[in-house]
Amino acid sequence: MTPSIQRPVPALSRRRIAAAAITDTVLILVFAAVGRDAHQRGDVVAGVFLTAWPFLAGAALGWLVFKAWRNPMSVRRTGLAVWLAALAGGMVLRLLTNQTVVLPFILVALLSLGLLLVGWRLVWAGARRLRKT
């Protein structure tokens, strides 16, 4: 057995990792803000964070479990994993904290988070492909 050697992460990779994590976070906050605006108008900032935290925790768990930092821009490897972890983790945490979890909300979250968390990676991959041609 050879011990694993930790290779330093290049600065460009660190920036991409940070950009991907920040983008995921901001888009989950946007999802929560849009939902709050559609249903409740009071307590805007705290309300957005109250709605978003379970999904943020789920996404963070997805980042850890699926080692998203290895390929943060990947649609399949990271985008799908973070999306489904955010959705599943968010719904479980909402249930555990007595927040509303009903089928219409699950479906809206499924579609919205998928569009946001996978969608931005699809756009990035498309732009990258166009630059190469």
| 26-44: average pLDDT | 85
Pick the residue with more confidence: 132 or 111? 111
Residue 110 has pLDDT above 70, yes or no: yes
What value does the mean pLDDT take over residues 10-31? 92
What is the rounded (10 degree) CA torsion for 26, 27, 29, 35? 160
pLDDT at 44 > cutoff 90: no
What is the pLDDT, as a whole number, of residue 45? 86
Q: List the alpha helices (DSSP H) in 40-96.
A: 44-65, 80-96
Measure the CA angle with vertex 94, ends 122 and 61; round to 5°. 50
pLDDT at 3 over 80: no
What would the mean pLDDT of 60-70 be, rounded to a whole number? 97
- Per-residue pLDDT band for 36 (boundaries 50, 70, 90) equals confident
Name the band, by pLDDT with cuts 50, 70 and 90, for residue 79: very high
Burial (Cβ within 10 Å: 0-12, 13-18, ≥19) of residue 69: middle
